[in-house]
Amino acid sequence: MSSVKIVFLGAGSVRYTLQLFLDICKTKELWESYVCLMDIDSEKLAAVHNLAERAMNEIGADLRIESTTSLEKALEGADFIVNTVLAKGEGEEDGYTQYEIMRQVGEKHGYYRGIDSQEFNMVSDYYTITNFNQLNTSLEIAKAVERICPNAYLMQTANPVMEITQIVLRSTKTKIIGFCHGFAHVKDVFEALGLEFEKVDWQVAGINHGIWLNRFRYNGEDAYKLFDKWIEEKSSQWEPKSPWDVQLSPAAIDMYKFYGMLPIGDTVRNGSWKYHYNLETKKKWYGKFGGIDNEVERPKFYEELRALRKKLLALAQDKTVKLSQVFPEEFRLDKLSGEQQIPFINALVNNKPARLFLNILNNGIIPELPNDVVVEVPCIIDASGIHPEKIDPPLTSRIIKYFLMPRIMRMEMAVEAFLTGDKKVLEEFLIRDPRTKSYEQVKAVLDEIMNLPFNKKMKEHYKWE
């Protein structure tokens, strides 16, 4: 067993922290490690500390747990930092509510689903140009890591993963890695085709929320032929089980036929405006729910998150209840959550090799993309470090030119605007939006967003008058 210090920032989110904490409890090689829970909300922090100790005791794990509201104290001696912070500006509203307020302002000015919903970036909590509070807090955290524990890995988990990881790498020497779980939806494809997971030779690559199944072989044969047969014979029978179930949707199939490879996970939600003009259009391409990124299902999801958090906080008050009885599936000792953070730690610390899909600097991994851009690619992790796989076969020309390059350009604009404080970049970002009808519309929507009470720091940053 190896002892390391693992820090959870934004631990008061409760749900995600407990999910990853349970992964540590189930990983015996990490027992005797020191887990530090950090959040600025002392009430929620106390609750998650309570739940974590009970979960540890029910599983029988051996960990040291501490909690603090001090970022500096949390980072002292840290080896791994999991950043799940959802920052917010001034005011009583939570971060998701502030997101929704900005979305409503955008829609008022003619931008359906808000100004941050752009081609190839339709995921509802992936704000890039109005998200100053999140970007700024994330950079401040990274600078603190660089100062206090420079050898630690900062594991960026909160969105927008691509932009935050990019900003930190360009502004600090912090060892930041971006984490996302969207790649796991390849299993939906394998299950639909009746393939044994262990026999599939597969690879996905691209950028965060823009990854593609570039290699797909089964028993040594091209498995895309099996997928083509499924499309012909069974795709018409597909129905989504939930708003999140879009991997085999008409949108995914349509993107596959155009780009030559199947989009995976959140990539399916991130197609062009063809799939997103309005709710009716979304239902055509994503099934009866219209996916999760619409005006009906996304608010429902936020309410479900709040209800779950409320349930967990109530459980923290009732110590007579066994958590394993309330959440039996989560307490199965033979099954981790599917998130990558704890296998990443175990691979580096205890030389338990793992194949993970990480957001790291390109540096030639995808030769057609700039070296200084963060890409999401398969890597083998072991005690000697992070070893990116060769991307074979390469992504198609259409994926590179028509999907990834336009999305990277949007990232570069968002990053430059944030780092320079040049409001003209924000304006240019919107001028190129197909929903924009005039320059006056651009100035009006940005002006109203800047003047929201919780965006005071953003207004000052951009010297908005």
Listing DSSP states for 299-364 in one string gives: HHHHHHHHHHHHHHHHHHH-TTS-HHHHSTTTT-TT---S-SHHHHHHHHHH---EEEEEEEE-TT
What DSSP element (H or E) covers 457? helix 456-461
Residue 106 counted as domain residue: no
Token pair listed for 51: 């739940």
* Terminal-residue alpha carbon distance, the chain: 57
Asked whether residue 223 falls in the same domain as residue 261, the answer is yes
Pair (194, 174) in one structural domain: no
Is residue 184 within 8 A of residue 267, CB to CB? The reply is no
Tokens of 120: 């190839």
Question: What residues in the chain have per-residue pLDDT under 70?
Answer: 1
Which of 418, 407, 442 is closest to 428 using CA atoms?
442
257, 172: one domain:
no
Please give the positions annotated as active site: 181, 266
Nearest to 293 by CA among 82, 452, 112: 112
Residues 375 and 281 in one domain: yes
Instruction: Identify whether residues 314 and 415 lie together within a single domain.
Output: no
Summarize pLDDT for 252-262 with one digit per residue, the tens. Answer: 999 999 999 99
For helices 224-234 and 186-193, what crossing angle results, to 10°? 70
Interval 396-411: pLDDT, tens: 999 999 999 999 999 9
Q: How many CB atoms lie within 10 A of CB 111?
A: 21
Do 168 and 43 reside in the same domain of the chain?
yes
What is the number of structural domains in the chain? 2
453's enclosing H/E stretch is: none
Q: Which domain holds residue 154?
A: 5-87+133-180+305-332
Residue 432, Cβ density class (10 Å: 0-12 exposed, 13-18 middle, ≥19 buried):
middle
Annotated binding-site residue numbers for substrate: 159
What pLDDT shows up at residue 1?
A: 62
**Residue 19 is part of a domain; what is its CATH number?**
3.40.50.720
Residues at the binding site are 159, 180, 209
- Which secondary structure element, helix H or strand E, spans residue 448, and what is its range? helix 439-450
Annotated binding site for Mn(2+): 180, 209
What tokens were used for 218? 């089964």
Distance, CA of 86 to CA of 96 (rounded, Å): 8
Are the C-beta atoms of residues 40 and 141 closer than 8 Å to each other? no
Instruction: Decide: 106 and 126 in contact? Cβ < 8 Å.
Output: no
Instruction: Show which of 385, 402, 420 is a domain's final residue.
Output: 420
205, 248: one domain: yes
Whole-model pTM above 0.95?
yes
* Collapsed DSSP state (helix, strand, coil) of residue 283: helix
Q: Scanning the structure block, which residue is given the tokens 């001028």? A: 431
Query: Using omega within 30 degrees of 0 as the cis cutoff, is the peptide bond preceding 250 cis?
Result: no
Over its C-alpha atoms, the chain yields an Rg (Å, rounded) of: 22
Q: Does some domain include residue 12?
A: yes
The answer to the question of residue 157 being in a domain is: yes
Residues 222 and 321 reside in one and the same domain: no
Tokens of 177: 């890695």
pLDDT (tens digit, 9 = 90+) per residue, 15-72?
889 999 999 999 999 999 999 999 999 999 999 999 999 999 999 999 999 999 999 9
CATH number of the domain where residue 403 is located: 3.90.110.10
Residue 60 backbone dihedrals phi, psi, to 5 degrees? 90, 20
Q: Which residue type is seen at 108?
A: K
Residues 150 and 230 in one domain: no
- The SS3 call for residue 123 is coil
Q: Both 324 and 280 in a single domain?
A: no
Q: Are residues 195 and 277 in the same domain?
A: yes
Q: Are residues 157 and 279 in the same domain?
A: no
Contacts of 268-271 with C-beta under 8 Å, sequence gap 24+, read 268/185, 269/122, 269/123, 269/209, 269/293, 270/120, 270/121, 270/122, 270/123, 270/209, 270/210, 270/407, 271/120, 271/122
- Could you tell me what percent of the chain has a pLDDT over 90? 93
Domain boundary among 313, 332, 351: 332
